[in-house]
Amino acid sequence: MTPGNHSECDPLLRTADEGDCHEIAERLNRGCQCISLDHERLRAELERDPRDGALLATINATRPHLFADSVVFVAAPQFERIAEIVAAVERVVATAAWQAAVLESAPANARIHSAAAGAFLGYDFHLSPEGPRLIEINTNAGGGLLNVALARAQRACCAEVEPLRAMVSEGSPSDPERAFIEMFREEWRAMRGDAPLRTIAIVDQEPQSQYLLPEFLLFQRLFERCGCAAYICDPTALRFEGGRLRLDGQEIDLVYNRLTDFDLDEPQSAALAAAWREQAAVITPHPRAHALFADKRNLVLLGDDAFLEGCGIDSRTRAILTEGVPQTRKVRPEDAETLWRERRELFFKPATGFGSRAAYRGDKLTRSTFESILAGDYIAQRLVPPSARRLSVSGEPTDLKMDLRVYAYRGQVQFAAARLYRGQTTNFRTPGGGFAAVVALPCAQP
């Protein structure tokens, strides 16, 4: 299809039942070749602050596969089911039985209570023909503001894209940027009430070398527009002095934590860990949130109907989760023979891993890698193949794998984005791939 030439889809979209809606999304993902990304508009979104005048040029030079040029299409009922799964997880995690079970073996820092829920949960899904399947949950999920800018920069090449632009436009009731800043304010209010929020530190190890540094800059500017002083720093630049967390002598009120030291137990996180233990600063996301939501071993329990029933979880919530979470088990050496025999149907992930590091499709495993998995702390998840998006890359039709990330807070979905890639796991090294804006295809009501 060419830009603006989707009119033949309009009658189908107006009259589709749920099954047709899924079919149309698949047809568009296979056939729509629109280049919908307006690079000039993207530049304007990324460079709203004069200090960032070369940000897009820097991204293009150093991160050429961060953004895809086209959108992906998802049937609205898939989103509705995703929202149900997110809400179901939140209900389970809120129970005392769940917290007792997962915190029993958690590190000491994760057992510290906080009224702050933890910002930026990312729920990652594969979209199977039977419905969305929750692959994993992440704290400090990256890409939120980058994807808002990407969605705002879409050219309305067809009627289906126009509602996306309206939804994410600045100042609209559904503006995700507004939801993100309100999330941080809620984290602050939960712990500090009506006290003024003055200073925010965005913390990651060697932030200037991080792939998502452009997003740190976007958050710094957003916090500044909301009246806060905002800094980007390495955790070693922080000091815990006089019962306060400080950066170059400046007291820090809130930390937007982007570290992958989830438990704050590495030496470079010492000041942050001390402030966490004393609750001297609002740290979000924090070790407790990671233990409750994002430890990969939790997926074993989320899909275990008997365990959930023992926690007092209602039947509807259990049904949503046992369907929406692929069967997952802990990898144990005594199960080696069974796991090897069934490996082609499994995906292996380190229990405390992140960013797809050391994760393996079972059908790609060598014996030596399998032995290292048995010796490590791994889970094995029933393989749910990702759906596909066909795009023209360098003039050639190319099938890219697709997963869907939704950002959520306190059980409510805030925003969704896709990642397009080739290979075993998501990456930002694929020509034509990267983050992609998501268009929800509505279905006619009966």
Convert the pLDDT of each residue in 358-367 to its tens digit.
789 999 899 9
Overall size of the chain counted in residues: 446
Examine the pLDDT at 314 and tell me if it is beyond 90. yes
**pLDDT value, residue 164:** 74
What distances in angstroms separate CA 186 from CA 45, 191, 198, 254, 337, one per listed residue?
Answer: 26, 9, 14, 12, 49
**pLDDT value, residue 6:** 44
Burial of 236 (0-12, 13-18, 19+ CB in 10 A): middle
What distance in Å separates the CA atoms of residue 224 and residue 227, rounded to the nearest whole number? 5
Tokens linked to 434: 């990267």
What distance in Å separates the CA atoms of residue 335 and residue 168, rounded to the nearest whole number? 48
Look-up of token digits 């060598």: 366
Examine the pLDDT at 234 and tell me if it is beyond 60. yes
Predicted confidence (pLDDT) per residue in 356-400, tens digit: 567 899 998 999 999 999 998 899 999 999 999 999 898 889 999
What distance in Å separates the CA atoms of residue 379 and residue 373, rounded to the nearest whole number? 9
Instruction: Tell which wins on pLDDT, 98 or 12.
Output: 98
Sign of CA dihedral 339, 344, 345, 346: positive
Average pLDDT for residues 252-276, to the nearest whole number?
97
Average pLDDT for residues 34-61, to the nearest whole number?
94
pLDDT band of 109, cuts 50, 70, 90? very high
What distances in angstroms separate CA 40 from CA 19, 32, 286, 395, one per listed residue?
Answer: 37, 22, 37, 22
**pLDDT value, residue 8:** 41
What distance in Å separates the CA atoms of residue 413 and residue 333, rounded to the nearest whole number? 38
Phi, psi of 23 (to 5 degrees): -65, -40
**pLDDT value, residue 18:** 53
